[in-house]
Amino acid sequence: MHSVSADASSYANVSAFVTTHLTLDLTANFEQETLAGTAELTVDRRDPAATELVLDTRDLTIQNAEAAMATGDWVPTSFTLDAATPAFGSALRIVMPPGADRVRVTYATSPAARGLQWLSPSQTAGREQPFLFTQAQAIQARSFIPLQDLPGVRITYDATIRTPKALVAVMAAEMTPGGEGTGVFTFKMPQPIPSYLIALAIGDLAFTPMGTRTGVWAEPSMVEAAAREFEDTEQMIAATEGLYGPYRWGRYDLLVLPPSFPFGGMENPRLTFATPTVIAGDKSLVSLVAHELAHSWSGNLVTNATWPDFWLNEGFTTYLERRIIEAVYGKARADMEAMIGVSDLEDSRSTIEIAQDKTLLPDMTGRDPDDAYSTVPYEQGALFLAFLEAKFGRDTFDAFLRLWFDTHAFRGATTDDFLTFLRTELMDQSPGVVTEAQVQEWLHTEGIPSFAVLPQSDAFVKVEQARDAFVTGGSAQTLAQASRAWSTHEWMHFVDALPRDLSLDHMRALDDQVGFTKSTNSEIAHVWFRLAIAANYAAADSEMEAYMIRIGRRKLILPLYRDLAATPAGKIRAATIFAKARDGYHPMAVTSVADIVR
């Protein structure tokens, strides 16, 4: 039995009890915007003398608690709920009678639960039914289930979800067929997972298969377009299996959410949650699928043991994502995406205020892990692994990563675990290839190390030539010639690489020719709106405002709010847009935007 390291973002007393299984029975009430019912936890007693089980909760109403032994009847037991702290919520302390190894908590969520978003019919594509989805990572599971909410504890679960009869419930778990139309859905998750991977969505949902083990859930009007966009998913799985070993979760389905979903994607096991903003019509933004799929190895199989180890999840996954893209779409595209990643990394770093958050190992003591969230663990982590690949050679490094996943499967890993593995499996085998000082610099530096092996792209060199020609007086026609075969990534780089003080004449000429302001590609529109803010190009104002109201994906909207807030007049505009958008945003997006416009 593995020991569980205590976690700074959880109240759970894991040296006394460790949860092994969860049974949920919850009813979704869309009028009250609550989930209510029971959570039954089976615990493994680590301290025979322990008399109290401590769980994480946030804004839950606890009705009662009962305890039982494996064989015995339920008996009421007493509990207390501590005062809440802003970062971590309230510890729930349940008295555990001697020998008890199960507890059952009857509770209800709050309409303000941070891990839930309740959407009115008007916020959905169909406009007739309401919608609910959960987002548990990093520490929001506690806002809809009382549990030990830390990545170092893995549980299996089963669940009964009761809904209005017209709606369909899906979970990131195995679904028992036949629920549709009955208002009762049952699920089971047989593989042990950390609490942040528990996920539920309820709405007017339809399913379209893509392959034998892949398919898409979405609102009926979206599901066919989504299945076409993501039709290469099976190929991505096959490519990843070829590199890193079997996919161990049975099915891989995607759930396309309404546009208020605050993330691009969330790697909920067996059922990735995804923003509709990646459905561009030309598969140009499907690296999101590669990314969330990659988490089936890096994250879901081998999990960051604590949140400060987050780069083990996201850095590895970003590296794997690029390898999948290379295998399915070729090296040129993977290189362009990696270069965009480096540019995102530098941009993100420049907005970070706490020095240690610019490194791979932020200090999260006393903080909600979400407050330390940035691109650094993703792109700095990916660059670290790309460096190791370049130094040790691709074949050696691939075998090394595969062994890492195999030997740590269904377990948590710390940064130190990785370093030990790196030393014994690679560095000691080939002394002198990579030094200990270099490894330390990757972890602790606030920038990209000088010895990094950076991605390069011939395509982007050509884009920069076309940009130079255009900016120094070249005609729009010449640009049209040069850009005829450009992909989304080339256009993104082009806009991103334009001077921020581009003249209004240039802006207008570009917009007339390419139609940037009305782009239906969410990433191209994003880089264009950032340029429009900097260049004071007012012709984009109303489209940008509509974009910021329609979309709740933080990565697409926060930089726009931040850019606006850089000037006093812009800050007022940002606040005005936020006032209109706020009701449609997820609680996590509301917090992040409020921070900027305050």
- Binding-site ranges for ligand BES (CB under 6 A): 137-138, 263-267, 287-288, 291-292, 295, 314, 373, 378, 555
Active site (annotated) includes residue 11: no
* Sign of the dihedral defined by the CA atoms of residues 573, 574, 577, 578, in that order: negative
Q: For the CB of residue 294, give the shortest distance to Zn ion in the complex, in Å.
A: 8
Query: CB under 5 to 8 A by kind: which of Zn ion, ligand BES, none does 526 bind?
Result: none
Q: Let me know the angle formed at the C-alpha of 121 by 120 and 123, rounded to the nearest 5 degrees.
A: 70
CB of 191 vs ligand BES, minimal distance in Å: 18
Nearer to ligand BES, 143 or 287 (CB): 287
Residue 371 CB, nearest distance to Zn ion (Å)? Answer: 18
* Amino acid in the structure at residue 220: P
Return the closest-CA partner of residue 379 out of 364, 352, 360.
Answer: 360
Structure tokens at 343: 């540019």
Q: Among Zn ion, ligand BES, none, what does residue 138 contact (CB within 5–8 Å per kind)?
A: ligand BES
Neighbours of 355 (CB within 10 A): 10
Min dist. Cβ of residue 585 to ligand BES (A): 15
How many CB atoms sit inside 10 A of residue 495's CB? Answer: 25
In this structure, are strands 265-266 and 411-413 parallel, antiparallel, or unpaired?
Answer: unpaired
Q: Are 63 and 108 in contact (CB under 8 A)?
A: yes
Least Å distance between CB 277 and ligand BES? 10
- By beta-carbon proximity to ligand BES, the closer residue of 138 and 452 is 138
Q: Pick the closer one to Zn ion by CB: 312 or 531.
A: 312
Token code pair at residue 543: 């489209």
Task: Report d(CA 485, CA 459) in Å as an integer.
Answer: 11
Respond yes or no: is residue 292 known to be catalytic.
Answer: yes
Other C-beta atoms closer than 10 Å to the C-beta of 539 total 12
> Least distance from C-beta 1 to Zn ion, angstroms?
29
By a kind-dependent CB cut-off of 5 to 8 A, residue 265 interacts, out of ligand BES, Zn ion, none, with ligand BES
144 within 8 A of 116, measured Cβ to Cβ: yes
286-315 footprint of Zn ion as x/- string (CB under 5 A): ----------------------------x-
Of residues 40, 292, 314, 379, which has the active-site annotation?
292
- Binding partner of 137, given Zn ion, ligand BES, none, CB within 5-8 angstroms per partner class: ligand BES
What the block records as the tokens of 248 is 């161990």
Nearer to Zn ion, 384 or 529 (CB): 384
Alpha carbon distance 85, 72 (integer Å)? 36
Catalytically annotated residue among 378, 537, 561, 585: 378
User: 136 vs 170, which CB is nearer to ligand BES?
Assistant: 136
Report the distance separating Cα 167 and Cα 124, nearest Å.
13
Geometric angle at alpha carbon 334, from 332 and 335, rounded to 5°: 65
Q: Binding string to Zn ion for residues 312 to 341, with x set by CB under 5 A, is what?
A: --x--x------------------------
408 contact choice in Zn ion, ligand BES, none (CB below 5 to 8 Å, kind-dependent): none
Task: State the binding partner of 358 from ligand BES, Zn ion, none, CB within 5 to 8 A by kind.
Answer: none
List, in sequence order, every residue forming a beta bridge with 55; answer none if it has no partner.
Answer: 92
Closer residue to ligand BES in complex, CB, 55/286: 286
For residue 305, give the amino acid letter. A
- Residue 163 tokens read as 């809904």
Chain residues that interact with Zn ion, rule: CB under 5 A: 314, 317
Which residues are identified as catalytic? 292, 378
